């Protein structure tokens, strides 16, 4: 469903009126009487403080920690805007907070940390972590984002995820799973080309390997990543081709291309050389590497996805992060591991195969049915919170990321259905 783009002034007015920004804080308890005041603050507040001092886990009982996630950035890789700094990133972080609340019911604070130092950033986040039940890292440039996430996952006992990496990986993985279904392929037989070698590209390629893909080629701004190059960091070296290969050679008979770069980094000629029914994910945003109509003109048999809402098969991170954090935090997971991400990807793929509710057909003005033009669920599918969060929660239990005892998946799914 296409819609006109907002003007610059409309965007500014939206953020300024009727009050600046997109989020506010509302209380969950009344403070209408002297008794309320004595319970909310002194002297009553001392009682839960002392209980938490004795047993830190009681913070989940007596404070908002259980349902509170932080969106934290240093503004070094914001959307398509680049390194605009911490303060200028705040509208994006507020927007992410809105999505957490509206899609998963999680409360959220946005926090902008004004430093490009890995040590200082990690020190700040570690120091404030007791406030939160989960931490969503956002818009931090590569390769620093890998080290930042690694340290924080290691140091903290709450879920930490850099969504720019893993959100795209999970959603695109779901799309690839279903693209294999409609084109009668097996994941382990795929030849995949990843165009781009930044945070999202590295994490996508890693997750595809976890899914079972055995043949992955990666291209950066200098060409194919191979073991004859001496200019590669450790993250790129994970995906070195065995010997020198040209750009055209890696596209020859490739089953899948995932573009995570910029417009023009692969071409119609590259698409023409791919295998039958090529799976083409052209995810640069807002301008894809190649527009879908160009792909379809060259290869009418292609399966196409983009990062945009005005084309079919949008790889949209809002399908992932609200529900991944919801499931992880609800079972008090100490991390978000590969098993949980893969569970989310398969849950998304399964949901797209199920019958589409009437309200979604009405919302999008067409009959939606699983196939080449519908591989990935729509963001407004109300079933997402139940299906994805429950799959993530169960995977956390099964993989040992959560030590919750007596987890009842059926009861949990019923609770999820009530949240929104």
Distance CA 137, CA 264 (A): 29
- For the chain, the first-to-last Cα distance in angstroms comes to 24
Residues 6+ apart with CB under 8 A from 113: 72, 73, 74, 86, 120, 121, 124, 125
Q: For this structure, is 96 an active site residue?
A: yes
In the block, residue with structure tokens 């991944």 = 324
* CA-based torsion, 238, 242, 247, 249: positive or negative: negative
Strands 160-162 and 223-224 turn out to be unpaired
What is the per-residue DSSP string for 205-257? HHHHHHHT--EEEEEETTEE-BTT-S---HHHHTT-BSS---HHHHHTT-SEE
Q: For this structure, is 335 an active site residue?
A: no
SS3 270: helix
Full 3-state SS string of 276-301 = CCCEEEECCCCCCCCCHHHHHHHCCC
**Which of the following is catalytic: 96, 191, 236, 378?**
96
Full 3-state SS string of 188-209 = HHCEEEEECCCHHHHHHHHHHH
Distance CA 403, CA 192 (A): 36
Question: Residue 147's closest CA among 111, 116, 108, 109?
Answer: 116
Q: Which residues on adjacent β-strands are paired with residue 256?
A: 192, 279
**Which of the following is catalytic: 3, 14, 29, 41?**
41
Taking each helix axis as running N to C, give the angle between helix 163-183 and helix 144-155, from 0 to 180 degrees, rounded to the nearest 10.
100
Q: Please list the active-site residues.
A: 41, 96
């Amino acid at each position: 469903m296409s819609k006109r783009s907002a003007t610059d002034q409309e965007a500014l007015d939206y953020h300024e009126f009727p009050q600046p920004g997109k989020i506010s804080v509302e209380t969950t308890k009344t403070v209408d009487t002297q008794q309320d005041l004595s319970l909310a603050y002194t002297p009553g507040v001392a009682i839960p403080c002392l209980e938490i001092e004795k047993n830190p886990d009681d913070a989940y009982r007596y404070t908002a920690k259980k349902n509170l996630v932080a969106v934290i950035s240093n503004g070094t890789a914001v959307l398509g805007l680049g390194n605009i700094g911490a303060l200028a990133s705040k509208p994006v972080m507020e927007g992410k907070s809105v999505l957490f609340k509206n899609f998963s019911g999680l409360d959220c604070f946005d926090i902008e940390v004004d430093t490009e130092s890995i040590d200082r950033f990690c020190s700040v986040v570690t120091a404030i972590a007791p406030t939160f039940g989960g931490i969503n890292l956002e818009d931090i440039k590569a390769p620093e984002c890998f080290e930042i996430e690694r340290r924080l996952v290691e140091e903290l006992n709450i879920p930490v995820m850099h969504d720019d990496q893993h959100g795209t990986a999970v959603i695109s993985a779901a799309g690839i799973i279903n693209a294999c279904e409609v084109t009668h392929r097996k994941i382990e037989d795929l030849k995949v080309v990843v165009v781009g070698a930044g945070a999202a590209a590295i994490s996508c390629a890693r997750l595809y390997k976890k899914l079972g893909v055995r043949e992955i080629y990666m291209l950066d701004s200098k060409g194919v990543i191979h073991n004859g190059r001496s200019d590669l960091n450790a993250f790129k070296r994970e995906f070195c081709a065995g010997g020198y290969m040209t750009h055209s050679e890696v596209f020859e008979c490739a089953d899948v291309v995932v573009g995570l770069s910029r417009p023009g980094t692969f071409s119609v000629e590259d698409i023409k050389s791919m295998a039958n029914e090529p799976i083409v994910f052209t995810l640069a945003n807002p301008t894809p590497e190649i527009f879908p109509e160009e792909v379809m003109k060259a290869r009418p048999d292609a399966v196409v996805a983009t990062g945009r809402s005005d084309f079919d098969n949008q790889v949209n991170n809002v399908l992932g992060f609200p529900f991944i954090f919801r499931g992880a935090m609800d079972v008090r997971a100490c991390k978000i591991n590969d098993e949980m991400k893969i569970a989310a990807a398969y849950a998304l793929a399964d949901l797209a195969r199920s019958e589409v509710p009437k309200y979604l057909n009405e919302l999008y003005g067409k009959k939606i049915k699983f196939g080449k033009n519908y591989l990935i669920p729509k963001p407004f599918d109300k079933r997402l919170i139940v299906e994805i969060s429950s799959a993530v929660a169960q995977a956390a239990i099964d993989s040992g990321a959560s030590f919750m005892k007596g987890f009842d998946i059926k009861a949990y799914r019923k609770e999820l259905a009530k949240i929104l």
